[in-house]
Amino acid sequence: MLKKRRVVVTGLGVVSPVGCNVEDFWKSIVEGKSGIGRLSAFDTTHFTCKIAAEVKNFDPSAYLSPKEMKRMDRFVQFAVVSAKMALLDSKLDMSKADPTRIGVMVGSGIGGLHTVEAEHRQYIAYGPEKGPGRISPFLIPMLIVNMASGQVSITLGLKGPNSAVATACATGNHAIGDAFRIIQRGEADGMMCGGSEAALTHMGFGGFCALKALATAYNDCPQKASRPFDKNRDGFVMGEGAGVVFLEEMEHALKRNAHIYCEIVGYGMSGDAYHMTAPDPQGDGGVRCMRNAIKDAGMKPEEVDYINAHGTSTLYNDRIETLAIKKVFGDYARKLAVSSTKSVTAHLLGAAGGVEMIVCALAIKHGIMPPTINYETPDPECDLDYVPNKARSHKVKVAVSNALGFGGHNATLIVKKFSE
């Protein structure tokens, strides 16, 4: 049996509602500064929900040419810009690297809705006779989910393993976990990986409204709307953005004296096989997923210091994820710090896992446990330490990131402070 190679995180890149660079993003996370406001992209008069977490002041021109921007959907732009940031942060000199040994695994839960809707409007405007001739030849290559990975590969010249993941809200964690496995097996020395999402469109937003999944009780005070684990939560808040991390085989990183944020040591997956949108009421999928990751890491549950929860602020998710954590960690669950940074960023769907991996890496680096803001009224069924409202200075040696998606897709990642 081949020995598994060790994998470390050496580069971070983020585009988010609370910052379009790592420094601003982390400052907002630690200070609990919400990125949620009235949705400005279109008129929400006839929508039940009026709020979202939009990426503001995003200027891709610093990273992309006008021609490139024109041929990329918004979710692809987010992904490429985040990947370029991660590469710069890693300080990897591509002129000295073997591009065939560096791959890409960036996913999206939904893909290019902006492109789909814009082209459909064009078709309808010209009617069934002239409409087909007005469809852009770039429609398909701009909307497909895999184009985030494809364009990252093209713009950065990365020729190694290249694939994409689409597992709803678990996408980012699956992409990072799958990239981790590729390096472990020796199929690549580096992987650019994570998730991207830009689905704040009429149909994307309207679809979640129709599902009755979005928060509606706080339309007049948007920054209070995302309140994971709070008794008065009433749904999640939709957001957009991207989180991309650069993973490297440990020796590859050490040879070039790279800065190492943390080491990925565990990855677990599971399926609920229960319902299209609801989690298993006993938390079975989440339980097995976390246990698989802990077993993969060769750790005891008591070694975990912090959990970045999926924590969506929906009635079912928060209660069931809490139950799953208690089943996995037993009495030790009461000593764990558990927080949901979706209280600050909102739910970035397929990008959530990538962004939250960055949170875990920085929590380890800075020794800070991020807060769950808007935690005001305890829920008897959500009775763990959710790091309420204020960040906590505390050494973090081991962090867990949970992602639980529609369709019953579950993915857990475990990272720890790096030590040779």
DSSP string covering 296-350: HHT--GGG--EEE----S-HHHHHHHHHHHHHHHGGGGGGSEEE-THHHH-B-GG
Percent of the chain whose pLDDT exceeds 90: 99
pLDDT of residue 98: 98
Query: Is 169 in the active site?
Result: yes
Which of 347, 360, 382, 409 does the annotation list as catalytic? 347
Backbone angles phi, psi at 338, to 5 degrees: -130, 125
Per residue in 331-353, pLDDT (tens digit) is 999 999 999 999 999 999 999 99
Query: Is 347 in the active site?
Result: yes
Helices (H), 13-112: 22-31, 66-70, 74-90
Question: Is residue 1's pLDDT more than 70?
Answer: no
CA distance 395 to 250: 23
CA distance 250 to 264: 10
Which of 310, 360, 382, 409 does the annotation list as catalytic? 310
Q: What is the mean pLDDT of the chain?
A: 97
Q: What are the domain boundaries of the chain?
A: 7-110+145-416
Backbone angles phi, psi at 250, to 5 degrees: -55, -50
**pTM, entire model:** 0.97
DSSP-assigned letters across all residues of 228-282: TTBTT---B-BB-EEEEEEEEEHHHHHHTT----EEEEEEEEEE--S-SSSPPTT
Half-sphere exposure of 206 (CA within 13 A, CB side): 11
2 or 51, higher pLDDT:
51
Which of 169, 193, 209, 289 does the annotation list as catalytic? 169
Flag the least confident range among 277-281, 378-382, 394-398: 277-281
pLDDT of residue 3: 82
Mean pLDDT of the region 153-172: 98
Length of the chain equals 420
Mean pLDDT of the region 199-204: 98
What does the block give as tokens for 118? 């814009």
The residue type of 168 is A
CA distance 150 to 297: 31
pLDDT of residue 80: 98
Please, which residues have CB within 8 angstroms of residue 120's CB and are 6 or more apart in sequence? none
Per residue in 32-91, pLDDT (tens digit) is 999 999 999 999 999 999 999 999 989 999 999 999 999 999 999 999 999 999 999 999
7-110+145-416 domain in CATH 3.40.47.10?
Answer: yes
Percent of the chain whose pLDDT exceeds 70: 100
Query: Is residue 36 within 8 Å of residue 49, measured between CB atoms?
Result: no
